[in-house]
Amino acid sequence: MAVSVIDSGLFRDMFGTEPMRALWDEAATLQRYLDVEAALARVQARLGMVPERAAAEITAKARIELMDQEAIAAETKIVGYPILALVRGISAACDDGLGEWSHWGATTQDIMDTGVALQIRDALELIDTELATLAETLAALAEKHRRDPMAGRTHLQHALPVTFGLKAAIWLAPMLRMRERLAELRPRVAVGEFAGASGTLASLGEQGMAVSDALMDELGLGRPLAPWHVARDGIAETVCFLALVTGALSKIATDIMLMMTTEVGEAFEPFVQGRGASSTMPQKRNPISCELIRGTARLTRQHAAAALDAMESDFERATGPWHVEWAVVPEAFVLTAGALSQANFMLAGLEVDVDRMRRNLDMSQGLIMAEAVMMGLAPEMGRTVAHDVVYDACRAAIKDGTHLRDALLADPAIREKLSPEAVDRLLDPVNYLGGADEMIDRVLAAAR
């Protein structure tokens, strides 16, 4: 029985995705190790270090379905690592003793690190695909709602008018930066490892570096500048990147969750029969995707902290920190994929109530436009004086429960400077959106 939400039959499709799990499951991980062993044999055969026949046999038999996984698991418990057992499996599967040429000059961590580099490379492709889809959806929301005003909120209170299109553009901009970060990250982390027992490749003599370079070319990975057995910044950077992605998604989820509250009611997750239902309250429509995104973001942040801790490796081979990565790297990728999947589902079908946005914008009876009035008066009486005059009008409107317009026009100092028509223009939210349109255009241009 599974004990983690990412593997659970109940929860796994809420906290992850099948394509991402398939990249990191046990069979896929072991197959990556086998792929590295087979590629090593092929390049060494080309360099004349092992027989061509042995390389062909190892390549043919380095398949997970030919391995005794129970035997590998049993030996791993004793040895502490799976590679020795896997090499025994290759030897047993190969005919005529040709499997004895496998793992020539390699060390366990070479195989495991290169295997995880292959997984990271492919997992980042899945992440990028989800990010691209999300960016398209957010761009469409920004364009569609660029003229739909709503209350901007600071410290959870009405501040100034914004548009929902600008809000969507603000959500979109970090996603564009995430794709930039991913493109920059990939060549740093999709890098293999082949350095031998203590990082010198001494077992292969003068051919060691040639084998390392050829192996990376064979696998489509970058060539390492130096051994990274104990230089784990690439792994840590990868997990920190995933934490950034889920953090940005969590901001979107937080906004939508708050917009779904009964008192606000401005946007809603897609309606699916029974989704977000309560066991006791039939009226409920809970923000399930938002909750899952916020949960996965918190978990991924903790994994980022663990990956940073794992950088503290001792000498030429770590005594424990490396093992932390075995847990946090796969889980962080699965959680991030789950968060992206939830975000794409939620935003693709987001229900936006522009009428409710306008009603909420108007609920303060003009108070949200106080800055606009102040700026309209400032050229006539000075900014400080205008601030104090409008402040007093706001206090009067709040005390009397009247519209700000009435309080403004009740002040002779304001009436002297502004006509009722001018006050009405200043109190219209669509006249005080500043550079929102241009900001949206800039984000959309970057998205294109």
Within 10 angstroms of residue 302's Cβ, the number of other Cβ atoms is 13
Q: What integer pLDDT is reported at residue 283 of this predicted model?
A: 66
pLDDT grade, residue 69 (50/70/90)? very high
Q: What integer pLDDT is reported at residue 317 of this predicted model?
A: 84
Q: Are residues 30 and 119 in the same domain?
A: no
Q: Are residues 243 and 353 in the same domain?
A: yes
Candidate list 4, 203, 278, 419, residue with the active-site label: 278
Q: What integer pLDDT is reported at residue 255 of this predicted model?
A: 97
- Helix H or strand E encompassing 160: strand 157-163
Q: Are residues 322 and 382 in the same domain?
A: no
Q: What integer pLDDT is reported at residue 160 of this predicted model?
A: 94
Task: Give the mean pLDDT of the chain.
Answer: 93
Distance CA 42, CA 109 (A): 19
What CATH number is associated with residue 382?
A: 1.10.40.30
Q: Is 278 a catalytic residue?
A: yes
What CATH number is associated with residue 239?
A: 1.20.200.10
Q: Which of 56-60, 276-280, 363-367 has the lowest mean pLDDT?
A: 276-280
How many domains does the structure of the chain reveal?
3
Domain membership flag for residue 3: no
Domain membership flag for residue 448: no
Q: Is 250 a catalytic residue?
A: no
113 contacts 191 by C-beta, under 8 angstroms: no
161 in helix, strand or coil? strand
At 378, which amino acid appears? A
Q: Are residues 316 and 368 in the same domain?
A: no
pTM score, whole prediction: 0.93
Q: Are residues 266 and 383 in the same domain?
A: no
81 contacts 29 by C-beta, under 8 angstroms: no
Q: Are residues 75 and 142 in the same domain?
A: no
User: How much of the chain exceeds pLDDT 70, in percent?
Assistant: 98
Give residue 306's domain range.
Answer: 111-155+164-358
Q: Are residues 204 and 289 in the same domain?
A: yes
Q: What is the mean pLDDT of residues 146-170?
A: 96
pLDDT grade, residue 379 (50/70/90)? very high
Q: Are residues 394 and 254 in the same domain?
A: no
Q: Are residues 90 and 192 in the same domain?
A: no
Instruction: From 340, 358, 376, give the residue that closes a domain.
Output: 358
Q: Are residues 345 and 250 in the same domain?
A: yes
Candidate list 181, 317, 356, 425, residue with the active-site label: 317
pLDDT digits (tens, 9 = 90+) for 81-131: 999 999 999 999 999 999 999 999 999 999 999 999 999 999 999 999 999
Q: Are residues 262 and 314 in the same domain?
A: yes
10 in helix, strand or coil? coil
Q: Which of 7-16, 164-173, 223-232 has the lowest mean pLDDT?
A: 7-16
Q: Are residues 273 and 378 in the same domain?
A: no
β-pairing verdict for 351-352 and 149-154: unpaired
Alpha helices in 80-107, H assignment, sequence order: 83-93
